[in-house]
Structure 1
Amino acid sequence: MIASSQPWLISGVLIGVALGLLLAEAVWPRRRHRLPLAARWRTHLGFVAINMPVERGVQALVFIGVFGAVTGYTATPDFGLLPQTGLPGWAQGVLAIVLLDLAVWAQHWATHRLPWFWRLHRVHHADRDLDMSTALRFHPLEIGLSMLLKLGVAFALGAPLWALIVFELLLAVLPMFNHANLALPLWLDSLLRLAIVTPDMHRVHHSTARIEHDSNFGFCLSVWDRIFRTYRARPSGGHETMTIGLTDYPGHESTRFGWSMGLPFR
């Protein structure tokens, strides 16, 4: 029951958080928008319309097909690395979430290093503004590959089913938060980023400056960038004046859905 309802649970939480962030961005914006908001949102919702079937299809494969029918993937699997540790179930789940977060960090790092993966990922970086909708702007090929990576890591770990559901919820909610055009009080930002990625921390990653662009790869835990020395506290030019996007595409191209979908093949 939990597995079959999981996509709807994620969708409900996603919509609720999105509405809350939209309100927060309107009341406490960090930057002024440079591009027409309606044009950007049309494109980003276009990606949602394509990516949701991709995501839901893979989730159905994971939670109903492969995990359920083929491997007998139960709430507490008896295969993979974690069951061999002898840790209690709750500890295995927490460790699974942490390691899945590390895997997504490593995937993000790789998309900036490997040319073909960068071709896909630059669709996300082509947005010249940054708000919670930017978290929806991913090419469907990158979405599919990312889902396959998480599937492989989950199999290898033998992660408890509840941990996979919690991680999917985090993966749905936190990217919207850390892409938000939201001016958090500095004391709150400093406190939060001790544990998780904040909007000010992630905004640095969307800078056109290469040294800033290749930093702050995390989406959930901020510790990985500190461990692997890719952490950068703030952009050199300040958050209000920094340039976001890709230097190759300084115009309004990114607001067009067809152009954005075809970007990896240019």
Structure 2
Amino acid sequence: MSNSLRFIIRWFSYPLIFAGAAAAMIGMLYADIPYWPTTPLIAAGGILLIALLERLQPFREDWLEDHQDTRTDLIHLIVNLSVIQFTATILAQLGDWFPDALSTFPTTLPLWGQLIIVAIILDLSLYGMHRLSHHLPWLWHLHAPHHSAERLYWMNSERRHPLHAAIMAGPGLLLLFMMGAPAAVVATWFGILTVHLAFQHANLDYSLGWLRKVIGVAETHRWHHKRDFEDAQVNFGEFLLIWDHLLGSFYDSAGKLASAEVGLRDEQYPTDYLGQLVEPFITSGKQGLASRKAG
């Protein structure tokens, strides 16, 4: 592959694909075209391009190989995107129960302004829940399947326990719908975020330069998946890293991962979907029994 093509992929893949997908989704929002199925199809197109670029210019060649995880990650992908859609639908219906007098969301703003507000509220909520998931044992057990991946690539962005996926998104979504946020605006942001998260975990040699300190792309997020758990307590932002800067959890790890391993120290952690679905409860049960015996 020519150096010029490598340069284009490295510096323009995220701006072109992410911005293109986001612009298309926002265009659908302005045109009042229903979210389903158009926005998910746009997101799928963007993610497919990321997957193809990984084969052309991987960050690590060995991460292109199956690690007994492709089938598992595919199931996670299908289940969790469905869970988020279901959670958003249910919370939107709950939001309809609140009196209009309590609605505080500024629906008089242009749609792009409403989208920014939705993005900020959801991103702060996701940051908070993500950080709590690294400190509260019961949340960590649910979050561990995401960190069990021994390689990073486009599809394990959705390797999450479905209960944890709902818990992560729930507080921000509930607040937004209590405020009276339009469901179409919230759904559009989730479509945009889905493409970003594929980039965040992509096995793709790309860069955003100094913007890596503002947007949670792979350059800084890979460090968060280090097998050395103590080193990984940084860069919790799902989209923005502003919260990491403000709350002291940012670390500029670009170029520092080298050959460091990702995943969990537990080498016996299940690699199949059903195993990862029940493992958090088995682990919690064992620890609870141990604590009772100790007491």
- Band of TM-score, shorter chain: 0.7 to 0.9
Q: Verify the 8 A CA contact 2:55 2:64 in the aligned structure 1.
A: no
Q: Against the structure 1 CA distance between its residues 19 and 34, is the aligned structure 2 distance closer, same or farther, given a 3 Å change threshold?
A: closer
State the TM-score, normalized to the length of structure 1.
Answer: 0.82
CA RMSD of aligned residues (A): 2.9
Matched, 1:248 2:266: yes
After TM superposition, where is structure 1 displaced by more than 6 Å over at least 4 residues in a row? 1-4
CA-CA distance at 1:111 after TM superposition? 0.7
* 2: CA distance, partners of 1:167 / 1:78: 25
* 1: CA distance, partners of 2:242 / 2:73: 29
CA-CA distance at 1:41 after TM superposition? 1.0
CA-CA distance at 1:115 after TM superposition? 0.9
Bigger radius of gyration:
2
Residue 280 of structure 2 corresponds to: 264
SS at match of 1:233: coil
CA-CA distance at 1:104 after TM superposition? 0.8
CA-CA distance at 1:212 after TM superposition? 2.5
Matched, 1:172 2:194: yes
* 2: CA distance, partners of 1:57 / 1:4: 20
Superposition pairs of residues 10-21 of structure 1, within 5 angstroms = 10-21=39-50
Any gaps of 5 or more consecutive residues in structure 2? 1-27, 284-295
Q: Verify the 8 A CA contact 1:124 1:137 in the aligned structure 2.
A: yes
* 1: CA distance, partners of 2:275 / 2:114: 44
Residue 66 of structure 2 corresponds to: 37
Matched, 1:100 2:90: no
Q: Verify the 8 A CA contact 2:35 2:184 in the aligned structure 1.
A: no
SS at match of 2:214: coil
Residue 199 of structure 1 corresponds to: 218
Q: Verify the 8 A CA contact 2:98 2:178 in the aligned structure 1.
A: no
State the TM-score, normalized to the length of structure 2.
Answer: 0.75
Residue 176 of structure 2 corresponds to: 154
Q: Against the structure 1 CA distance between its residues 7 and 110, is the aligned structure 2 distance closer, same or farther, given a 3 Å change threshold?
A: farther
SS at match of 1:51: helix
Matched, 1:50 2:79: yes
Q: Against the structure 1 CA distance between its residues 35 and 183, is the aligned structure 2 distance closer, same or farther, given a 3 Å change threshold?
A: closer
Q: Verify the 8 A CA contact 1:170 1:220 in the aligned structure 2.
A: no
Match of 1:226 among 235, 242, 245: 245
Residue by residue, what CA displacement relative to the aligned partner does 1:179-220 show, whole Å, maximum 9, x if unpaired?
001111xxx432332431111110010002233311000111
SS at match of 1:33: helix
SS at match of 1:128: coil
Residue 10 of structure 2 corresponds to: none
When the two structures are aligned, how many residues end up with a matched partner?
252
Q: Against the structure 1 CA distance between its residues 222 and 192, is the aligned structure 2 distance closer, same or farther, given a 3 Å change threshold?
A: same
Residue 66 of structure 1 corresponds to: 94
Q: Verify the 8 A CA contact 2:43 2:192 in the aligned structure 1.
A: no
Whichever residue aligns with residue 13 of structure 1, its letter is: I
Whichever residue aligns with residue 245 of structure 1, its letter is: G
Whichever residue aligns with residue 263 of structure 1, its letter is: E
Residue 287 of structure 2 corresponds to: none
Q: Verify the 8 A CA contact 1:25 1:182 in the aligned structure 2.
A: yes
Residue 140 of structure 1 corresponds to: 162
* 1: CA distance, partners of 2:223 / 2:127: 16
* 2: CA distance, partners of 1:203 / 1:5: 35
Whichever residue aligns with residue 94 of structure 2, its letter is: V
